[in-house]
């Protein structure tokens, strides 16, 4: 992608990073919501961890960089909320 094409879609690299983070969060929570509640906890955890593994490069970049603290907090709190909601539904 050329520089001019990039700037047609994004103001700067931070806006691109924000779009990537939003997409990863959406797909993560979509993946979590697709886990059926009748499954036992270990199966659910295994499915989710396989999803993270399949997207390991992206998660590695977003979760292991100190400057992505906002994303890290968002994904952790979102997963916690999902787990708590599943517990209430059991």
pLDDT tens, residue by residue, 56-88 = 999 998 988 888 888 999 988 988 887 777 767
Q: How far apart are CA 4 and CA 10, in angstroms?
A: 10
pLDDT for 37 beyond 60:
no
Local confidence band at 41 (pLDDT 50, 70, 90 cut-offs): low
Range 20-24 average pLDDT: 92
- Do 90 and 38 form a contact (C-beta atoms < 8 A)? no
Q: How far apart are CA 58 and CA 30, in angstroms?
A: 16
pLDDT score recorded for residue 35: 67
The structural domains of the chain, with segments of one domain joined by +, span 17-89
pLDDT tens, residue by residue, 1-14 = 899 999 999 999 99
Q: How far apart are CA 22 and CA 57, in angstroms?
A: 16
Indicate the pTM of the whole model.
Answer: 0.72
């Amino acid at each position: 992608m050329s520089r001019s094409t990039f700037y047609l879609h994004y103001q700067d690299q931070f806006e691109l990073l924000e779009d990537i983070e939003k997409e990863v969060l959406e797909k993560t929570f979509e993946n979590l919501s697709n886990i059926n509640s009748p499954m036992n906890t270990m199966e659910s955890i295994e499915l989710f961890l396989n999803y993270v593994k399949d997207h390991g490069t992206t998660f590695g970049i977003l979760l292991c960089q100190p400057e992505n603290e906002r994303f890290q907090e968002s994904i952790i709190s979102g997963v916690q909320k999902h787990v708590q909601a599943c517990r209430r539904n059991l």
